[in-house]
Every structure is written in structure tokens, then in C-alpha cells.
Structure 1
């Protein structure tokens, strides 16, 4: 046992010795090697032999630990020769440590692997400006803690996944820190990590030290945060009876304590009745508003404010009452804004279940909230440097925020907010580069409505090049062509000449040929006439399975209409639009009205009633089983012998692209005959 203690003690002093001159590596140096907090120092980075070797435009971030939190600054790197980079860092007196990361493109180097058995990322521990023989306050603690993933002190996306130091190493550094700094704020800040790492490293033998920590945290007149730390330690060190007893004491002493908050959240999360869940969620948010002081405890005990906000808001919006957004808009977390927008504005707009003039107010409100995060960094991302946050924000702009902008443009169009919609559309096109049909269509519409018709033809041509054009846009392009040349002759040739050949071609996956007989069927058309697959032998048949309730199905119909018009003079190609999976009693009348309203002259077939269950879908069910697919829209290209050659599902968003896709598949199918 004595030998084990000696070995551990030796290891401690080896590691502690390294920490004093942490900044000297093969690829990374600081000058001077020992830096006092508040002084400026230079760093030199050599990318040779790293993942950044030979790369230009290397960027760097310095993460500094101060006032018990991480913060990031962007380095102004300069280079005088290949692979050599340098910068000056102006530290402040409250800094404890600085960690460095270097990047170029998708490659990152923070030296976060193991070196000589130790995890030694590029870092500089600073000295105490009041006593330069000692490390800065918090430096030893954070050097141990930030290399572990267990205690909430790590830098996001800094260390390699799975490469962390042990509890033994963490506890050693914390022990050394607490020996140097007896200040109450340091004891409180690192107490949970110290006790938990001691227990993880030494088990029951660490009980006396853990008891001493708990006794300090529960001292007379201790703040609630300290008592909660003691409660958390008792949980982490397998002392549930003592934890429960302390929890009751905290709940009794402090009104609205975290213990009561945790119990309220558990009751909310376990509730099955939606009305009661909404009521409990509202009460929870009123009584326990989000407080960053308790963010660590919230994470540790899985209290998810995002879940509460979404539940309360979405349950009320389910009754088409959006006023709840007004109540919580200033509190909504980053991801909640995206989710609320999708569940409220986006769905209602696509379904046209709520007037756009009403939706506009909330679309704008949520969009402004999202935009505010660009300059007001959320608490969870405070460690990011300004450039790093902007990159992260822009990534989410693509995934979450940009779809909101596109939807808002469309809502502005429907609400008559043409100038505002055009402003957003211009910005969106500079990002999207005419590669999204719905945006292009809105842009053209808004240009016309705001008196910018002179720009329309250029937008049409750029959209055609990307093959992202709606049917109305195509009609407008044709009108412009006829106006210029006084004839429709040559328009198709002109149209094809405008397209980017690569944008019009299908991928190899789309061109994978099938060679399987179509299931036999007989269905009834709009006039009550029975049509069978057998009766269509000798023709290339395009079958489009769709439904009145299916938004992408109906969105694809303008493109399918273009394809129908393309082959209207070819007697050997026929299109049938099979309406399926309907449950409404008047669905046939709905279809007739829909076709009339949109000017479609499609050959529609009504799928047969299901043999078991309600609604239609007997043919589609057999097709789904035979070809192992599910869901509409589904388009099958069948050759003259009744064999399915190609199949495509979903809708990618462009009428002209869909028309070209169907045409390519028809021509390829013809060649198989």
C-alpha cells in the first residue's frame, strides 16, 4: 500500500512539474516560456508533421480560462515561411490558463492526442501576478479538469473523443490547487469535481476527504449553491440516504430551491395528460425561470428547458392560438426557435390552414429572435471565439435558420409584404445562387410586384441554368421569348441551350434500372371507365401515385404537368395519376375541383378500396409490397410489356428538373423495348 502511495505521489510531482512549463512542445512555443497573467506573450506554431502541414491560411483560436469560465479570442496569425506561424497574445490579470487550437479547412490541430503517456494539448499555464512563483489562481485546477469529459469544464470540440485524463490525474491537480488557494470561491467552484474525482480514483478510502468537503459546503450560512454542491457530491459518491436528508433540508430552508425545481420537472416529464402537462409546464417556467447559475446542475440532472418551452407552446398552438409565442419569445433558446417555427409557421403555411397575414406577425417575431443570436451569443456557446461562433451560426443558418428565411419570404408574399420579402429574397439568392425553385419563384413574383420587372428575365435565365424553375416561371420565360421573337418556334431549343447540362442529368442511383413485372391492376377513371394494365400493353406508361392530403405530391404536379405536355403528341406514352390512400367520403369531388382550380387535364385513376380496413389503397399496397417501398409520391415508368424499368419517389422541389427527369426515364425505357 505504501509503495502504491509513493508511486502515485511521484506521478503527481512529475505531472505538476510539467504543468509549470506547459508551453514548450515540438510544434508550439511561447516566449517567454513562463508567463505572468496580465502580460503579453508571443506564440510560435510549426505545422510541420501535423495535419496542417503545407496548408495556407491557417487560423488560430486562444481559449482562456477566467472567472470560472472559458472564453475564446481569434488569433491574428502571421507567417514569414512555410509552416511557420506566430501571434501575440495579450493576457489579462484574471486569466488562469490559455489553450490553443489551429485550423485550416476541415483540419484541426490542438495536440489533443497522447504524448509520452500524457494528454498534452497546446496550452500555457499562467503565473499569479501577485506571487509569480505560483501558478495563477485556478490554473492547476483547470489544467486537470479541462482534459476530462466528466466535470463540465472541457472546451467544446477541442479534445479528441475518447482521449481524456483519469480521475486520479484530475484529483491530483485539484488537490494541489486547493492547497495553494483557500479562497471560498475556489473551494466552492471545484468542490464537486474534487470530491467526485477523489471517489473515482480512490473509492471508499477517499471518504474522510469527501466528508470534509461536504462539511465545508454545508457550513452555517452557506449559500444554496454550496449546499446543492454537497447534495450533488453525496449523489455522485453513492450516499443516497444522506443526499435525501440534505435535499429535504435545502428544500425547507430555501423557497423555490433547485430540489423543488427538480421534482417539479420530473412531475412535468412524467405527465401523460396533455392539458395537465401544459399547465405544469407553464407553472414550471413561471416559478423556475432559466438561470445560468444553475446551468451545470440542469445538465447534470437532465432538466431540459427546451422541452418545456416546446411542450407549452406547441400544445397551445395546436388550438391555432399563437399568442403564447409573444409570452416566451425573449426566453426561447436557440434550438427552440427553429423547432417552434417549423411546428407553427412552416406547417400552417404549407397546409394553408391559417391566413398568411396572421402568420406573418409570428414569422417575423421568430425570425428576429433567431437573427439576434448572431450578435448575442447564447450562454452555452460563450467559450466560442467571435469567428468560431460566426462559423457555427452560419452552419446552423444552413440547417435551421435559412429554411426559416425561405419560409418567411413565402409568407411575406402571401401577406402582401412585398418589399420586405424582396429584401430577404435578394439576400437568400446571394447564398442559394438560384439553386432552389421555390425561392426563385418567390423572387420573380416579388420583383414583378415591386416594380423591378427589368430584373426578371435575368433571374429566369439563371434559374433555368440550375434547372430550378416553376411552371409559372417557365410560362413567363416563354412569354418573354414570344414577345421578343414574335413566335413560339425555337423556344424548346432555346430553353435547352440555357440549361447547365450537369444540372439536368440524373445521378447513377436514379438511373438504376429495374426489371420486374408490374403488379396487375384494374382501376376506375374520372368518368367511371375501368382501365387495366393489360389494356395498356404496347405503350410506355408513367404511373404517379399521389393523394389529396400529400403536400409533396401536389407540389410535384406542376412538374408532372410539364412532362405530360411534353409528350402530349406521342401516342405511345401515357400518364396515369393514381389517387390512393384516401379516407374522406368526398375525396373524388375534391380531386375534380382541385384539377379544375389548377387547370390540370390529367388521366386520374382512383385506387380500389382496401380489402381490410378503411379507405382506398389496394393497388398501392400491392405495389409497395412487390417493390419494397412505402409512401407517396411514387412514380413508376413501365415499358410496353408491363415491366417496371424505373422508379422515383419524393419531390426535390423543381418543376423543370422533375419534367426533365421523367423525360430521361421515359426515353431510357423506350430503348429497353
Structure 2
């Protein structure tokens, strides 16, 4: 019965192949193209979702050495048809195509436009990689498909097994590469009956001349598909004996790095790891399965090295070894965290080195991104650069008075952010102001205010320009409100209304900066805003300019009280630090100190009780309490815009005031 089912799946796979390779809109010439030979494709957009589009682009996915590599394919319009010519790489066995126009994509309705290539040497046979490409492209759960190309559940395990079996049968060198997905398909089809076949696979993987990768896959099969610990252990023993300085030794050394919490020890262990196990000698697949991250090792050395040796050269020495995947996290740890805390020593120097490494990848697409065509990679690179670097880098450039460069960085960022990130808008505003570009500055300020993504500094700039033009500040607040997007304000208001709750607030009593006692019971009849924060909490303090706007808006309203509760402090002398911070920044805040229970390491008694009561965690947390002592709103975190936060808090206050 199982054989009949398998045969049926194979027949279905063949019929599907004919359909998928020959849709009416897509033709290839010659009809049986060969690897290493020219190929012409013809695309009739009129029969697809791209009908009527005046500009089309194409991407070709080439299955080379059992990996996908994308390339842009220039199209020429000939009447109602689009044509492209390409020279197929001699090592390519299978092709996939997609066609795009702006944001629309045609991939044959998630069936793919595929071409299986013939072998130019072994006439009548499929080129190496052809069968596997056809199977893997349509088997997403095996993790060897084309990322983000077609979205569907995939063909059956029987079909996947068939095509992998064909590949291995006709192209013996692929056995090692495809052993694990082949074994996975076997297990999925035959269940417990797969054991004899899997044992034969393992016998091949354990042969005398087996590579590390073979033994690695043999152990995986024993461990995960057969649940046979004894066999897995025996393969590991052979692996260790044949490759005493191989991947298993690398894994042991990597684990050793994390054994210590002492920074100098971690630093020394990380440097020794790189000396003993250079990255170029490693296997990325084995490293990935063993959760070995060279990026983390480089990060240890660069971040801890910068801490231990402020004038050292660890960053300069290792920066060019960083993979693109490792760069964002290193930039965050080494640059962004100190920058947001105001620790600027050496940051510009380190940032320049990391940005240079980022820019290297702009023109050198990483291997991990080979599934993106060069044009697609340029877009993805810019998106990731803006997401991870632009804001802080522009800030450092401004602080170094390199305003023209900061302006360039922020202008490029706006192509992706479209004025929807207050921090980018702020750095661009600073650069424009310093460069004396007042007309461009005003345009930026107005666009930013429309998106409600502005800083208090930007509001001050806009006010200065308003006063210069009107010769008076009269009417400025109304003008400011008129710049905001009314549709977005209405939408936000409706979303806030939907968040309203009514829960009884636990009673509490805390002392303020002057030692006076404040209680919830004593505030009955007032709308209370409680903002939980700490001196170590970067987003908490980043939100304070926006909270200051809200406090100042309600300074003449005795029915509204703002309380800034300092909580979860663990350093000695935190009360003095809090008082100094509030005074230095001229915040008109009423600060309360959370209580510290006996034996506790932090002052978190009130916040801990409230967090448990309402199932919340982490700061910043802002609670809005009505005049009868009921909790009405919880506002978590900080979105980055001072004006948006002030508007949100104001709306929550007004909704709370009018609540029953």
C-alpha cells in the first residue's frame, strides 16, 4: 500500500513539474536548456497580475552547488512580450524566476517559474543539482528552499524524497551534502520502518574516509531521527578520534568562554579561541547546529576590550573579521548603548570603523544574502543600515560638527523612514540648522509634526521660525496642532479608547524627594499619572522630554497630578543621583521613591505589587488612575517621539477624566 501511495505522489510530482515549468505566460528557448549554455526567456505579462505594467524587472534564482544565488535579469519589451537572455553558469542545475513591478510580484501564483537544466556532457541526463533544486524549491520545511520566493505548504515528503533520491542516484557527489534532508524525508515517509534505510545512510556517513560533515550528519540522524543515543555517542567518539582539533574541540572551547563572568577571563578565552580555531577553518553549518557564533566571540573581544583598554586596538584589529550578521549586534553593544547613556569616549572612532565595515558589504553581498539579487540587496542593505546605525551615527557626526555628513546620512534614512522616526528627524533638524538651511529645516519640521514624530528641540526650532515670521509667539500652540495629521489623531484616539480598563488600584504610600509622605488615598478626586522609572533605564529617561511637555500642559490644572516613581534601584546613593539628575535637566517633576523591604536588593515594593496585580513587567510603565482610585490605562515603553508621547498622555488623561 505504501508503495502505491509513493508511486501516486511521484506521478503527481511529475504532472506538477510539467505544469509548473510550462505556464502559458512563461517560455524558455531552447525547450531543453543546458547548463553552461545561453538561454532566452519570454514572458507574456498580459496573462499575469502584472498586465499593463510599463516597467518590469526580473530575478533569476540559480541553484549552484546546491545553494541558491539570485541575479537581476534585464528585460527587453517587444510589443506585448518581455524577453531576457542569460548565460547559464556551467555549475547550475536548476533555475527559478520571478517578475516584479514596483511592489507587485508574479511568481506563478506561488507555484514558481522553474526550469530544470540538462547536462551538456552526459546527454539525456539532468544536470547536477537539477533534481534537488526541483525538490528543495518546493519543500520549505526542509529549510533549503528559496527564502521569500513562494509561500505554500510544500509538496509531500514522498515527492521530496523522490527528487532527492534521483539527485543522489545520478550525482553521487551530492550524497554527503543531501544526506540529512534525504534521511529526514525517509523518516517522514516510512516512520519506524525507515530504520534499516537510515542505518545504510549512516554506514555511508561513517566510512573510513568520511569528512567531519559526514560524521556530523551521521550523529544528527542517530540523535534526532532514530533517537539512538548509543549510536550517536559512538559516532561522536569516532569523530573525536579522526578530527581531534575539529568541530567538537571547537565547541568545547566555545563553551569554555561562557564559563566565567569575569571580563578579563572572558576576553582572554575569546582571544585564545580565535587563535586555536580560526573562523576560516570552520564549517558554518556545523557551527550553526552547535550554536557557535564567531560574531559573539568578536563582540566579546571588541566590547570588553574597549572597556578594559580604552586606548587599545581590539576594535580596529577585529572589525574586518565581522560578518554582516554580527555587525548590528556589535554596533548596538559597542556604540548604541554607551551613546544612549551619554558615554561618548572613543565612540566616533569606533563607529567610523564599524560603518566602514557596513559599507564594505554594500558592494560585497554576504553569502547569507545570496538569495537576494544585487538590486534587492541594495534595498535590504539600506533598510538594515537605517534600522541599526543611522540614528546613532548621525548623532555622532553632529556632535563632531560634521553636519554635512550627518545630513547625508539622515536624508538617505528618510527614503526608508519617511519622517516616521523622531530621532532621525531630530538629527536631520540639527544638521540643517547648523548648516543654515532654514527653508529646508522648516519643511522638515512641518513634515515631522504631521507625522507627530518630533523632539522638544524641534518644537523649539519651529517656534523660533514662527516668531521670526510672525514677530510674536501668539497663536503658536494652535499652529502646532494644525500641523498634525487629523486622520492619524482620530485613529489614535479610537485605539486609546479601546484600551480603557477599570480595575481597583492597590493602595500605596511613598516618600518624595523632600521626605514628605504621599499616598494614593490622599489623591482621591484627582486624575493621577504614575510613571515608573529608574536611573539605569535608558528608555525611561528618554521619555522624560515628552513627559515634560505633558506636565507643562497640565501645570495649571489642579485636578491632574503627575508622579515619577523611582524604582528598582540597586546602587548605593541613588536618591542623591536622582535629585541631581532631575535638577540638572530642569524637569518639573514630583518624584517619589519606591519602598525597599527589609533584606531586598532593590527598592521595588510598590512596583512589584502593582506588576503582580496587573500582570505587567519592566519599565518604563505609566499608569493612569481616575479620581475614584481605579486604574484606567497602562502605557508601556516609549516609542521615541516626545510630541507623540505628550499627545498620548494628554488623551489618556482626558479619557480618564470623562470616564464613568
Shorter-normalised TM range: 0.7 to 0.9
> Which one of the candidate residues 579, 596, 614 is aligned to 1:627?
614
Aligned counterpart, 1:403: 388
Is 1:342 aligned to 2:329, yes or no? no
Aligned counterpart, 1:98: 95
Aligned counterpart, 1:32: 30
Is 1:569 aligned to 2:556, yes or no? yes
Query: CA-to-partner distance for each residue in 1:43-82, whole Å, 9 max, x for gaps?
Result: 34567998x4768566532222346654322234467798
Q: 1:280 to 1:668 in 2, by over 3 A?
A: closer
What is the Cα deviation at residue 487 of structure 1?
2.6
Q: Is the 8 A contact 1:195 1:213 kept in 2?
A: no
Residue aligned with 2:22, SS: coil
Residue aligned with 2:321, SS: coil
Query: CA-to-partner distance for each residue in 1:556-580, whole Å, 9 max, x for gaps?
Result: 2222222222222223333332333
Residue aligned with 2:619, SS: coil
Moved more, 228-237 or 435-444: 228-237
* Cα distance in 1 for residues equivalent to 2:357 and 2:242: 37
Residue aligned with 2:627, SS: coil
1:253-402 equivalences in 2 (<5 Å): 260-269=246-255, 271-274=258-261, 277-291=266-280, 294-299=283-288, 303-317=292-306, 319=308, 321=310, 323-352=313-342, 354-356=343-345, 358-397=346-385, 401-402=386-387
Is 1:173 aligned to 2:188, yes or no? no
What is the Cα deviation at residue 349 of structure 1?
0.9
Residue aligned with 1:571, SS: coil
1:606-617 equivalences in 2 (<5 Å): 606-610=593-597, 613-617=600-604
Equivalenced residue count is: 635
Aligned counterpart, 1:223: none
* Cα distance in 2 for residues equivalent to 1:556 and 1:430: 26
Identify unmatched segments of 5+ residues in structure 2: 187-193, 223-230
Q: Is the 8 A contact 1:102 1:109 kept in 2?
A: yes
Q: Is the 8 A contact 1:19 1:140 kept in 2?
A: no
What is the Cα deviation at residue 338 of structure 1?
0.5
1:626-665 equivalences in 2 (<5 Å): 626-665=613-652
* Cα distance in 1 for residues equivalent to 2:475 and 2:184: 82
Residue aligned with 1:373, SS: helix
What is the Cα deviation at residue 651 of structure 1?
1.6
Q: 1:152 to 1:418 in 2, by over 3 A?
A: same
1:4-23 equivalences in 2 (<5 Å): 23=21
Aligned counterpart, 2:61: 63
Aligned counterpart, 1:183: none
Q: 1:55 to 1:469 in 2, by over 3 A?
A: same
* Cα distance in 1 for residues equivalent to 2:554 and 2:545: 15
**TM-score (structure 1 length as normaliser):** 0.80
* Cα distance in 2 for residues equivalent to 1:68 and 1:489: 70
* Cα distance in 2 for residues equivalent to 1:534 and 1:35: 82
1:110-259 equivalences in 2 (<5 Å): 122-130=113-121, 132-136=123-127, 139-140=130-131, 143=134, 154-158=145-149, 160-163=152-155, 165-166=157-158, 168-170=161-163, 172-174=165-167, 176-178=169-171, 187-193=172-178, 197=182, 201=186, 204=196, 218=209, 227-228=211-212, 231-232=215-216, 235=219, 243=235, 247=239, 250-251=242-243
Higher Rg: 1
Aligned counterpart, 1:439: 424
Q: Is the 8 A contact 1:144 1:173 kept in 2?
A: no
Aligned counterpart, 2:225: none
Aligned counterpart, 2:464: 479
Residue aligned with 1:487, SS: coil
Q: 1:618 to 1:143 in 2, by over 3 A?
A: closer
What is the Cα deviation at residue 337 of structure 1?
0.6
1:419-498 equivalences in 2 (<5 Å): 419-498=404-483
What is the Cα deviation at residue 363 of structure 1?
1.1
What is the Cα deviation at residue 169 of structure 1?
1.6
Q: 1:541 to 1:58 in 2, by over 3 A?
A: same
What is the Cα deviation at residue 453 of structure 1?
4.2
Residue aligned with 1:42, SS: strand
> Which one of the candidate residues 371, 385, 397 is aligned to 1:412?
397
Aligned counterpart, 1:554: 541
CA-atom RMSD in angstroms: 4.1
Q: 1:4 to 1:515 in 2, by over 3 A?
A: closer
What is the Cα deviation at residue 598 of structure 1?
1.6
* Cα distance in 1 for residues equivalent to 2:274 and 2:105: 42
